[in-house]
Amino acid sequence: MQNNSLGKQIIRLRQKQQLSQAKLAERLFVSRQAISKWENGEAEPDLDKLVQLSQIFNVDLDYLVLNHPMHQASILTLSKIRKKYQQPILRDVSFSLHNHERVALLGSNGAGKTTLVNLIAGRIRPDSGTIQRNYQPQLEFSLMPQQNVLIGPMRVQEMIELEVSISQLKTVDVPELLKRANLWDQRNQVIGSLSGGQKRKLMFLLTVIKPAQLFIFDEPTVGMDLETIDRFWQHLDQITGATLVITHDFNQIDHYFDRVLLLREGVITADERVATIHAHNQNLDTWYRQHNQTPEVSYE
């Protein structure tokens, strides 16, 4: 019988992500019996499978195998960010993102979420405050904006091949990518003629086609049908690196994200671990409504 500390770690991480043995086995291309043996300490995965497990669970290998504390290096730090147009949009925004974190950014329409994303992306500058980026913005950052940024007259496969060429991704199999993204049948279709959901699928594929230290997705599932939304979350679940997602899909926040930030009236008014919210017998929908409600005004 082998040491079962790794097995217990696999069980814990699998249950945290609500993955059944069968589902994990499917993603690793092994039998369910193999997963069961790993978890019972009767066998151990080889190095390739350990690497795959760390990617699926989005954790360090040292954390997976030895249960060492995760290295929480800061990927991005914002300090006292202010931005004003005709009126203040961001008043005093401060927070940090760390490697391997999956963070949901919540807030009502007009709260300043997209402005914040544009500041992080370097599209606009803050009026005051600092942004520290511990990654190479041109090489290790990828953004899926709320509005699709696509070249309408191009064909789908041409657009993918262009991104592969620009990013110098020599080992990428474009046909395989299109099949996995369920866009193979549209490969020769002009982008401008795609449906809204198909454009979002293509935009997602262009965003994740290269590895990055930080991914940001701004309302990524808008316009997608339910089947495509499910596929989106499945693909997103396989991304390594830090992710910041603007979304109100509370069911997915509950089981996908580590942490939630609430932007309200230009300030981060709440920053909480998802596990802490659940420990207080709340779901994300209830937590959001409680923290985002406008106080009643008394006229007495």
Is pLDDT at 233 greater than 60 in this prediction? yes
Q: Is the dihedral of CA 196, 199, 204, 207 positive or negative?
A: negative
pLDDT band at residue 247 under the 50/70/90 scheme:
confident
Instruction: List the end-to-end C-alpha distance of the chain, in Å, as a whole number.
Output: 73
Q: What is the pLDDT of residue 248?
A: 82
Which domains does the chain show, CATH number per domain? 5-66 (1.10.260.40), 74-288 (3.40.50.300)
Q: Comparing 51-55, 86-90, 258-262, which segment has the lowest mean pLDDT?
A: 51-55
- The stretch 241-248 carries a mean pLDDT of 89
Side by side, the strands of the sheet bearing 74-84 are: 88-98, 74-84, 128-133
pLDDT in tens, 56-84: 887 778 878 876 665 567 899 999 999 99
Per-residue model confidence (pLDDT) at position 72: 65
The tens digit of pLDDT for each residue in 174-224 reads: 999 899 888 999 999 999 999 888 899 899 999 988 889 999 999 988 878
Give the residue-averaged pLDDT of 9-30.
86
Per-chain mean pLDDT for the chain? 87
**Can you give the pTM of this predicted structure?**
0.76
Question: SS3 string of the chain?
Answer: CCCCHHHHHHHHHHHHCCCCHHHHHHHHCCCHHHHHHHHHCCCCCCHHHHHHHHHHHCCCHHHHHHCCCCCCCEEEEEEEEEEECCCEEEEEEEEEEECCCEEEEECCCCCCHHHHHHHHHCCCCCCEEEEEECCCCCCCEEEECCCCCCCCCCEHHHHHHHHHHHCCCCCCCHHHHHHHCCCHHHCCCEHHHCCHHHHHHHHHHHHHCCCCCEEEEECCCCCCCHHHHHHHHHHHCCCCCEEEEECCCHHHHHHHCCEEEEEECCEEEEEEEHHHHHHCCCCHHHHHHHHHCCCCCCCC
pLDDT value, residue 197: 86
What confidence score (pLDDT) does residue 206 get?
93
Residue % of the chain over a pLDDT of 70 = 95
Q: What is the pLDDT of residue 262?
A: 95
Average pLDDT over residues 265-270: 92
Contacts of 49 (CB under 8 A, 6+ apart): 28, 30
Poorest-confidence range of 51-60, 126-135, 242-251, 264-273? 51-60
Q: How confident is the model at residue 294 (pLDDT cuts 50, 70, 90)?
A: low
The single-letter code of the amino acid at 188 is N
pLDDT of residue 173 exceeding 70, the answer is yes
Kindly tell me the burial class for residue 68, based on how many C-beta atoms sit within 10 Å of its own C-beta (0-12, 13-18, 19 or more). exposed
- pLDDT confidence band for 298 (50 / 70 / 90): very low
- Given a cut of 70, whether residue 95 has pLDDT beyond it is yes
